[in-house]
Structure 1
Amino acid sequence: MRNRFDKQLVQLNDYMLEMGSLIEQSIEMCVKALVSQDEAIAKQTIEADDDIDHQEKKIEDLCLQLLLQQQPVASDMRIISSALKMVTDMERIGDQAADICEVAMEMSELTYMKKLEHIQSMAKETTVMVVKAVEAYVHKDQTLAEEVIARDDTVDRLFNEVKKELITLINQNAENGGQAVDFLMIAKYFERIGDHATNIAEWVIYSITGEHNDYNH
């Protein structure tokens, strides 16, 4: 019985890695759509959100199967319950990548009033956070999870940089207001992705230690 349970836990890890990979691709594609102003890529990314939703359902079904059909001990319960919490944040990251693409589509015909260095840096940081958070879960690596949480400060700093830059541009020319709002919304989505990655890392730490702290507050 335990041997079968352990095999299913390995399968759970594989599913989590697959979902992490889907999210990583989604973030990369939404940035590409934004930078290249490519509506086709934006649409493809929005459609790919269905794959993320499907993967979430697979993980939830397997977790419920493990809880109902097996007799997990306390440490196993933490691993399974953490996965259920994590996939909620992972699914929301997919939603936010799709939301960014929707804004990118609205801006696809515009001449950008600013370069996108800070937003691209936010995307890079949040991608690393998501990938490392899932790796930390699979490898039960508390140090790596704590590294993810620490990286959120960089994302917050970049968000503040974008906000300051946009305020300056609006002050220089009020006609920049509409596009500034769009860019601020995009930066906020990336900031929220960082928060979700932090949540994921918090649940990783819980799965290892049994203690859950909310680092977003």
Structure 2
Amino acid sequence: MPTHLEQSLQRDIDRIHAKVCEMRDLIETSLRNAMTALLDANRQIAYAVILRDDLIDEKEKELDRLCLEFLVRQQPVAGKLRFAYSTIKMNQEMEQIGDYSENISRQALKIGELPDVVSRERFKEISDMSIKMFGDAIEAYLTENVDLARRTMAVEQAVDALKSRLNTDLVDLYKEGKIPFDVLRPLTTIARRMERVTDRCRNICMEIIYMCTGEYAKHEGSDIFRVL
């Protein structure tokens, strides 16, 4: 039977997990709605995403507070200390992803109606891949699944390649006079923001691997070292 201290520890972890899930749900919804605002030229949805960013910022502060309370109350060591540290770092990454959804919505407002020559399928594809990567990264965190974290990291390269193809297509359309610069610039910004979502997800996965194993490699090809 768990001791009182073990029960207290688990309650705090459960509270942190619950707050992470709240942030995940808010961010996934904002990302999906931001892309809907672009593809459907829906200004109302775009404004809703922009306003929703304040709620994501508030959840970030709440999660930070829970992590700090966990550190003070539990005085964790080793794995549980890595859990708190990695959650704080992950929280920063999630908040940035929320900012990207706001920025995408602002860019969508600049464009208005998406020209027919622009591939909606490409934008939907990069959006779907990025959102799934985010969801998988959070699932790897909640389940402490290192294998899932490593598999999820690999998606980043595919999204990078897709963004490059998308940008090439957009620049070609601009050179051919099929879209104006006022449309080209926000569209390439949106593609870059979706790609940046996967960069943040990769950082989250690296924190998960560190949390679970104590191994930390900041850059691909760098030495892995064990701490805590």
Rounded Cα–Cα distance in structure 2 between residues aligned with 1:58 and 1:201 = 22
1:81 aligns with 2:88: no
Contact 1:118–1:161 (8 Å) recurs in 2: no
Normalised to the residue count of structure 1, the TM-score between the two structures is 0.95
1:19 aligns with 2:23: yes
1:180 aligns with 2:184: yes
Deviation string for 1:111-165 (max 9, x for gaps)? 4541222121111011011111111011000011111100111110110111110
Q: 1:53 aligns with which of 57, 64, 68?
A: 57
1:152 aligns with 2:156: yes
For residue 68 of structure 1, report the CA deviation from its aligned partner.
1.0
Match in the other structure for 1:42: 46
1:106 aligns with 2:110: yes
Deviation string for 1:11-36 (max 9, x for gaps)? 11111111111111011000111110
Q: 1:166 aligns with which of 166, 170, 180?
A: 170
Deviation string for 1:163-202 (max 9, x for gaps)? 1101211221286333111111110010111101111111
Normalised to the residue count of structure 2, the TM-score between the two structures is 0.90
Rounded Cα–Cα distance in structure 2 between residues aligned with 1:43 and 1:167 = 28
Match in the other structure for 2:121: 117
More deviation in 79-88 or 7-16? 7-16
Rounded Cα–Cα distance in structure 2 between residues aligned with 1:174 and 1:153 = 29
Rounded Cα–Cα distance in structure 1 between residues aligned with 2:178 and 2:117 = 12
Match in the other structure for 2:224: none
Rounded Cα–Cα distance in structure 2 between residues aligned with 1:151 and 1:78 = 25
Rounded Cα–Cα distance in structure 1 between residues aligned with 2:162 and 2:114 = 24
**CA distance 1:169–1:195, change in 2 (3 Å):** same
List alignment gaps of at least 5 residues for structure 2.
222-228
Higher helix share: 1
Match in the other structure for 2:199: 195
Match in the other structure for 1:28: 32
**CA distance 1:112–1:214, change in 2 (3 Å):** farther
How many equivalent residue pairs? Answer: 217
Following TM superposition, the consecutive aligned residue runs of length 4 or more in structure 1 with deviations greater than 6 angstroms are none
More deviation in 131-140 or 105-114? 105-114
Deviation string for 1:64-90 (max 9, x for gaps)? 001112121210000110000001010
Q: 1:2 aligns with which of 6, 9, 18?
A: 6
Letter in 2 for 1:3: Q
Letter in 2 for 1:149: M
Contact 2:110–2:186 (8 Å) recurs in 1: no
List alignment gaps of at least 5 residues for structure 1.
none
